[in-house]
Amino acid sequence: MFHLIFGIPWLVVVVRFIQPLPWIWSAKASLAMLLLVASQFHLVSRLSSGSVFDPEFSRPLVIAFNVLFGAIVLLAVFQIALDVVSLAIIPFKGGFPSAPAGLRYAIGFLAIGLSAYGVNQAIRVPPLNDIEIAIAGLSPEFDGYRLIQLTDLHISRLFPAAWTKEVVSRTNALDADLIVITGDFIDGDVAHRKDDVAPLWGLRARDGVYAIPGNHEYFFDYQEWMRHLEMLGMRMLSNSHVVLKRGNAEIVLAGVTDVSARGHSAPPPDLAAAIKGAPANTPILLLDHQPMMAEKAAASGVALQLSGHTHGGMVLGLDRLIARANGGFVSGRYQIGAMTLYLNNGTALWPGFALRLGAPSELTRITLRAKTK
């Protein structure tokens, strides 16, 4: 599916950008063929590993594919915008104007430059995003409680062991009370990713490390990944909860599986089961990879939901489309009745479209505060 869809931007670039260039035929054909290969990044990924979600070739090549792939998409958008402007000025020019070669070179360099910058922003170890969230009914003992949210790590050939190790190091340096990981740990099976995820064993927080699966865990061997992640010291909250204590004060940390489970013969998300037996009148913090069920969580008495999945929309403009597919949610803080939803932009993102323009990755430290009336 992906290789057919992304053949369309390539076709726009060939017909409307490359063909009018004042080059010899062989040069234009060579550029068109290079971009054709880049446009088929997901097909190449599937051929390398059997999955479009798991390119199993060298990291520099994955980066190069992403830069060229992003440039094709951006150049197609710029070319369409140029054609729309050209159509608008037809009444004043008496015909469809021909864009000068210099203008075409300019938008070409802009597309490749923005793509290279966007890929660089996507693959970096993210900077700290420090936020405070007020929780109704939070006991004074938990006022100032600090948790780190990691999400959408997508550990893969693009985000390998060295990257994971640096994320762990920066996370531990923040000296958090709690670390939570809201899904999409990996792209690849355990055999290919075992060494790349190994540094996660080093995560440390006073109250431990808790996690839930994301949709990408289901694209590989879900049960094997759940066992392996537990072996790395993470407690998986799959439709379950724990009670965290400070003296006599308590908060509930609950987690649900991902909605993708329904298509993979795995337990679907069950919020009722996740919070069943939780102490009454105790704030509930919910981990749910996707944000689309946030209104249901708010109606169930959840005080704070932490989610990921959307990557913040990745690119300005694209965020509006991604919001439509996620219940209107795409990035940052939302108030839904008495509940706060925090939708994290992600620690990393899927290596099949590693581009960030205006939606930065984040290493997120959340400080809980007692809400005052």
Q: Is the pLDDT of residue 93 over 90?
A: no
pTM for the predicted model, two decimal places = 0.95
Widest CA span in the chain: 80
Q: Could you give the 3-state DSSP secondary structure of residue 264?
A: helix
pLDDT, residue 1, reads 58
pLDDT confidence of 372, banded at 50, 70, 90?
Answer: confident
Per-residue pLDDT, averaged over 25-48, amounts to: 94
Cα–Cα distance measured from residue 164 to residue 105, given in angstroms and rounded to the nearest whole number: 38
pLDDT, residue 63, reads 98
Cα–Cα distance measured from residue 159 to residue 357, given in angstroms and rounded to the nearest whole number: 19
Residues 334-366 as b/e (b if ≥16 CB within 10 A, e otherwise) read bebeebbbbbbbbbbbbbbbbbbbebbbbbbbb
Q: Is the pLDDT of residue 340 over 80?
A: yes
Beta bridge partners of 157: none
Q: Contact 312/297 with Cβ under 8 angstroms?
A: no
Q: Contact 70/35 with Cβ under 8 angstroms?
A: no
pLDDT, residue 99, reads 85
User: Which token pair is 51?
Assistant: 């999955």
pLDDT confidence of 137, banded at 50, 70, 90?
Answer: very high
